[in-house]
Amino acid sequence: MPWKQESTVSLRLEFVRLASQPAANVRELCRRFDVSPKTAYKWLARFRAHGAAGLDDHSRRPTNSPHRTADALEQQVLQLRQQHPAWGGRKLRRRLQNLGVADVPAASTITAILHRHQLIDPEQAAAHQPCQRFEHDAPNRLWQLDFKGHFATDQGRCHPLTIVDDHSRFALGLFACADEQTATVQGHLTTVFRRYGLPERLLSDNGSPWGSAGLAEHTPLTVWWLRLGIAVSHGRPYHPQTQGKDERFHRTLKAEVLQGASFRDVPACQPRFDAWREVYNHQRPHESLALGVPADRYRASVRAFPEELPPLVYEAPAVVRKVQTTGRIAFHGREVVVGKAFAGYPVGIRPTKTDGLWEVYFSRHRVAEIDQRQVAD
């Protein structure tokens, strides 16, 4: 059972949150998480009765007490801050409330406690600026993915691969990779697709392995996405703001996990990543979510991952051409560039409402245009 490979309680929590979403397909989630329906409904019942604490194999001491003193509450604030050194007053306050702590003070009071104990750097506090946010209106409309800048371990370099849902900020994947090759990314994405289903669109930058020489051209990896029915978008060159959710996730990852940390090798990074991803998705209050957590807004995609790719079929009036090894096709006496990543695949050419203007499709996705109104060179 995959739950033996990661934190058992973490996966139970992730499963029950997804299964508790409106219109969730519990049987399909059982298949994706490889758990029996009997076990699944047992954990759902425990979660409804006792919350996250009901998913633990061991009892937990209650976090609230009618006889708790103000000094004890301050100590609780300091202990939580010690666990999450990058969290400020608002996040700490919401987390204490979520834990069931009674009489939680205002965020400003918690901030004053942190200042009193010299736990806030004035320069860092001044650097925080409000920003304008844009987001898709539902989960799985858009996922953002990228490699965070690699860092050194004692025995090599780690390349963190991150995948974030645009709407909910839910971290779908955080993987410690030894390289940034297509096979590595495809393997991890397959794991994510099997668990959460397929998004409508994937957004990446223009670098390898999802871009070609900064030109946002298709690669074997993005061609695979298109075959799965996933639309592909690339950010503007030299504008990381396009992938703003993932860039912000990278800054949080650096502040809360990587800064000051050391790792033996790449495999040693993954357990730390897994533990923090649970905190990020299920515990850490998010400013842009009105101090909610990403797991509250995320639900699994209804589009399941197909273990076998569907055939490429183009119906009339499409004209079918096979892409040559040069990345070109011949059409009406002209050579048209489609892209080397499509070499060997058939594409469909469809007329538009404008005479002499054609569109080239790969599966259901437009990948090129043919304008016969232009004079050939």
User: So where are the chain's domains?
Assistant: 2-55, 70-127, 143-297, 319-371
Please tell me whether the peptide bond between 311 and the residue prior to it is cis, using omega within 30 degrees of 0: no
pLDDT for 298: 95
Higher pLDDT, 1 or 243: 243
Q: Is the pLDDT of residue 52 over 70?
A: yes
- The pair phi, psi for residue 8, each rounded to 5°, is -60, -45
Q: What is the pLDDT of residues 143-184, one digit of tens each?
A: 999 999 899 999 999 999 999 999 999 999 999 999 999 999
3-state DSSP: the chain helix, strand, coil percent, rounded to 5?
40, 20, 40
Distance (Å, rounded) from C-alpha 318 to C-alpha 332? 14
pTM score, two decimals? 0.76
- Which ranges constitute the DSSP H helices of the chain? 8-19, 26-33, 37-50, 70-83, 89-98, 107-116, 122-127, 182-196, 220-227, 244-253, 266-282, 294-297
Question: Cα–Cα distance between 331 and 334 in angstroms, integer?
Answer: 5
Determine which of 69-73, 293-297, 343-347 has the lowest per-residue pLDDT on average.
Answer: 69-73
For domain 143-297, give the fold.
Nucleotidyltransferase; domain 5 (3.30.420)
Sign of CA dihedral 6, 8, 9, 11: positive
pLDDT of residue 5: 46
- What is the band of 241 on the pLDDT scale with cuts at 50, 70, 90? low
Across the range 233-259, mean pLDDT stands at 80
At 85, is the pLDDT very low, low, confident or very high (cuts 50, 70, 90)? Answer: confident
Q: How far apart are CA 218 and CA 281, in angstroms?
A: 31
Of the two residues 18 and 7, the one the predictor is more confident about is 18
Alpha carbons 121 and 246: distance in angstroms, whole number? 25
